[in-house]
Amino acid sequence: MHATECTDAFKDFLRWSRNMDVIEEARSAVHPRSGTRVMYEQVKERILEDVRAGRLLPGVKLPSERQLCQVYSVSRVTIRRAIRDLVSAGVLESVSGKGTYVRDPGPARGKTGCIAFVRCTRGSKPSSITSDVFYPAILAGLEESAAIQGYHCVVHTVDETHPDVDRLHRLAERVDGIACAELRKPELLEELKRLGLPLVLVSPSLSPPDVDVVEIDNAGGADQGVRWLLQLGHRRIGFIRGSPGSRPGNERESGFRRALQQAGIPVDDTMIAGSGWRYEDGYSAMLELLKKLPRLTAVFAASDLLALGAYQAIRESGLEVGQDVSVLGFDNIDIAAQSVPPLTTVSVRRREIGQMAARLLFEALRGDRDYPVRVVLPTVLVERASTATAARDFASVRLDLDRARSAR
């Protein structure tokens, strides 16, 4: 597109936006908006609609943040969040020092109009993605980005211990690319590569040099969370790990160890318990830690579900979460904010993971690059009521409880 055409298109967009402001004011009077998230979603949808309707054409530079704030009557924080998501989805493109442009998607090589989200399990019975506590948000980001490109998303489960290879090949006939989550087995990786489709691994336990990967900064997030506990005055901190064969779980343990060692606190096996990712695994691991570490004042769990299992064990031991034992989780699943007390956690940008996986898939479909990419998404600590200052020596708390039981 020539510069003159871009300028004319931008002027048309601004004229249309001024008209939309009048309509939007009328809508707001009838249906008031509520909350930053709603505003951000509305702005994102309006920009998407502008792109789909041809009011914002490929190659056109977006107005400045200040101008967009005026057009959409929102704050810069809202504009930045909407643009960040659209960049992740491949709709917009940020050019350093120049600005943000509507991306030209180019022709895709796909034929079926579908991509697959493959979730790996290990011996467990297949379950619906909706019953999972972690992956629905990732799938939502993947589906959202696929829809922008005119694609649908197919969900598929594979048991890595006994993979149905024929079923995988039948899946490959129905899709143009695959995003595979929680892959651990090299044998399954080789089978997926033999399908000859664009492939992105999401939070895998392998590090193949020739495949696109989207993963979480597990060690960095764990380090950040444990440092928060240290700032609160905790020194006797336990760790509830996930499955031993899980690289994300091992990286979170590495971050736990690193934070304590840098604080001059030696780490030994008595401070660590657990062998799975289920609620009941967190429960049993917490009971074990309370027996091994009677002076423990805080615990870091490798996932929110493990942390919630620890809640139950703490309460059954006659203690209070937050007041007697601080609990820190990892993931920020939806129920974390509704738990009692609300769970302090290391938040994973799950929706962005799905958006990034889709972006890498469509880059491969368009032939944008001929080299693999590894993307590590940062985490954010979300402070809630399950962590508090280590005000009392835990040994005295246990002594008080023992005296109360004896007096009954």
CB neighbour list of residue 52: distance below 8 Å, 6 or more residues apart: none
Does the residue 142 lie in any domain? Answer: yes
Residue 163 has pLDDT above 90, yes or no: yes
β 380-382/374-377 pair status: unpaired
Query: Do residues 83 and 207 both lie within one domain?
Result: no
Residue 406 counted as domain residue: no
Structure tokens at 97: 């020092």
In a domain, 408, yes or no: no
pLDDT digits (tens, 9 = 90+) for 173-216: 999 999 999 999 999 999 999 999 999 999 999 999 999 999 99
From CA 269, how far away is CA 292, in angstroms rounded?
A: 10
Looking at the domain assignment, is residue 107 inside a domain?
Answer: no
The phi, psi pair for 203, rounded to 5°, reads 50, 55
Same domain, 334 and 365: no
> Are 310 and 287 within 8 A, CB to CB?
no
SS3 for 317?
coil
Structure tokens that stand for 401 in this block: 């409880």
Q: 104 exposed, middle or buried (CB, 10 Å; 0-12, 13-18, 19+)?
A: exposed
Which contiguous run of DSSP H or E holds residue 230? Answer: helix 218-231
Assign residue 327 a region: left if phi > 0, alpha if psi is -120 to 50, beta otherwise? Answer: beta
pTM: 0.75
pLDDT in tens, 304-324: 999 999 999 999 999 999 999
Bigger pLDDT: 27 or 207?
A: 207
Grade residue 29 by pLDDT with cuts at 50, 70 and 90.
Answer: very low
Distance CA(153)–CA(139), nearest Å, equals 9
Tell me the CATH number at 92.
Answer: 1.10.10.10
For residues 68 and 10, membership in a common domain is answered with: yes
Same domain, 154 and 16: no
**Domain count of the fold of the chain:** 3
Task: Decide if pLDDT at 36 tops 50.
Answer: no
| Structural domain harbouring 251 | 218-348+383-400
- For the chain, what is the radius of gyration of the CA atoms? 25
Check whether 271 has a pLDDT greater than 90. yes
The 8-class DSSP code of residue 388 comes to -
Q: Tell me, yes or no, whether 18 lies in a domain.
A: yes
SS3 content of the chain, % helix, strand, coil (to 5): 50, 15, 35
Give yes or no: residues 94 and 24 share one domain. Answer: yes
State the CATH number of the domain containing residue 338: 3.40.50.2300
Same domain, 312 and 197: no
Q: Do both 254 and 388 map to the same domain?
A: yes
